[in-house]
Amino acid sequence: MRIPRIVIAAPASGSGKTTVATGLMAALTARGLDVSPHKVGPDYIDPGYHALAARRPGRNLDPWLTSEDLVAPLFLHGARGADVAVIEGVMGLFDGAEAAGGGGFASTAHVARLLDAPVVLVVDASSAGRSIAALVHGFVTYDSTVRIGGVILNRVGSDRHERICRAAIEETGLPVLGVLRRHADAGTPSRHLGLIPAAERSADAVRTVERLGALVGESCDLQGLLALAHTAPPIAADPWDPAEHASYDGARRPGGPSHDPEHAADLRAGEPSYDPARGADLATGVRPVVAVAGGPAFTFGYAENDELLTAAGAEVVRFDPLRDEALPEGTRGVVIGGGFPEMYAPELAANEPLRRQVAAFDGPIYAECAGLLYLARTLDGAPMCGVVDAEARMTSRLTLGYREAVAVAESPVTRTGERFRGHEFHRTAVDPGPGAEPAWRWPGSGPEGFAGPDRLASYLHLHWAGSPEMASRFAGACR
């Protein structure tokens, strides 16, 4: 399958990848192309801006969370019907996951190789002249399996500065495909976990994306970038299909949970029965409603998680804990993902009818990070739902990184002893009450999260494409 594609990378974080990638998506979309937006790594925030720019869901490509084997199929799934795909990298081009043993695993370069995609290097030129060429030459020659096809200069100060940098880089044999001047209004506002999510900024975010599209459209060689994207060869893989993965047969999947052989029979016996063709309970023909939190306070989630729930027979319905005073009608299960409830604690606390309904809900609940905070008794002193026995609070410490977690209790989506790959990203902490049953344990950490037969709430973010049986289990528990 052939999808023209290009990777936007940089020597280091802060060079302007998000500005260029988002602006390129917006500029190409404004010119009538159907652009498929992607992000290397686990980040949720950049894909929100990508979705605004391309008018398609922003999707993540992460070999650690899902497996190397799934990167190309997930890319092809997200890019179905697109004219071109733009993939924003993570950190520096060769920076990978130390949790995976180093070596650049899950780096932008790793994903570019898996997709056989050309790379454009975004270089911050604000404090250099001809020396830029030495940096670019080093990146080009460091790893011959990564094909760097051009450079975009960012934060250029003047016409003379541009001439110096352009001439030096072109001596290396690479084309300069764009030059962005220093623009105070070209960025997006940040806070304690990075950029403010696009869903929170609404109209402001739309205007920012429009400005970035205009900036990149005026400053970059769009035809040259498209020509480079068209040099990417066909991918010898089939698109990922959630319907093929939503039912778990007890066998180990690449990147999915692992378990001891003695548990295999229990795992198979515990899976739900559903008809993949109808996506409904065989006994009733009714799709159970799974209420998934959204709105400004809960913006983090992978599109594939919802797609797997739907394929497993659930009807996914969104609700906003800031505004909706009741769960969607007929709710049989609740999923509360990540986000920034700490920024909305008073408003969440004020919605007492919904908090009481969530507290009294007797179906399965799955919560990640922000969802954990919302299910706690309090958040920075403001009353929350009280589903889990914990107090939550803001801290000054950033907790960030990949985790290889072992489930230490049964829950609607896990079985004791299974291993899952996820990530943490928060500046909050929870203080559990006595007798709380943890969900996870991983190297360097004590017991983490809260688990029980009808709930799992923890800081761990999981990409369900890497563990698709979680969707089948959750949908089955909702029946």
Structure tokens at 203: 């109209």
Residues 6+ positions from 67 with CB-CB distance below 8 Å: 253, 254, 255, 256, 466
Structure tokens at 446: 């004590």
| Exposure string over 116-145, b if 16+ CB within 10 A, otherwise e | bbbbbbbbbbeebeeebbebbbebbeeeee
385 is catalytic: no
**What is the rounded distance in angstroms from the CA atom of residue 255 to the CA atom of residue 266?**
20
| Of 123, 120, 118, 91, the residue nearest 106 (C-alpha) | 91
**What is the rounded distance in angstroms from the CA atom of residue 120 to the CA atom of residue 235?**
20
**What is the rounded distance in angstroms from the CA atom of residue 470 to the CA atom of residue 414?**
7
Could you give the residue ranges of the DSSP H alpha helices within 173-297?
A: 198-201, 203-219, 222-229, 242-245, 264-269
Q: Provide the residue type at 230 as one letter.
A: H
* Terminal-to-terminal C-alpha distance of the chain: 38
| Of 183, 210, 180, the residue nearest 198 (C-alpha) | 210
**What is the rounded distance in angstroms from the CA atom of residue 406 to the CA atom of residue 48?**
30
- Strand 331-336 relative to strand 280-281, pairing: unpaired
What are the backbone angles phi and psi of residue 139, rounded to the nearest 5°? Answer: -70, -35
- Strand 289-293 relative to strand 315-319, pairing: parallel
| Of 251, 478, 206, 235, the residue nearest 366 (C-alpha) | 478
Residues 6+ positions from 302 with CB-CB distance below 8 Å: 44, 59, 60, 463, 464, 465
Of the listed 165, 220, 369, 385, which one is catalytic? Answer: 369
According to DSSP, residue 12 is labeled S
Q: Which sequence positions are flagged as catalytic?
A: 369
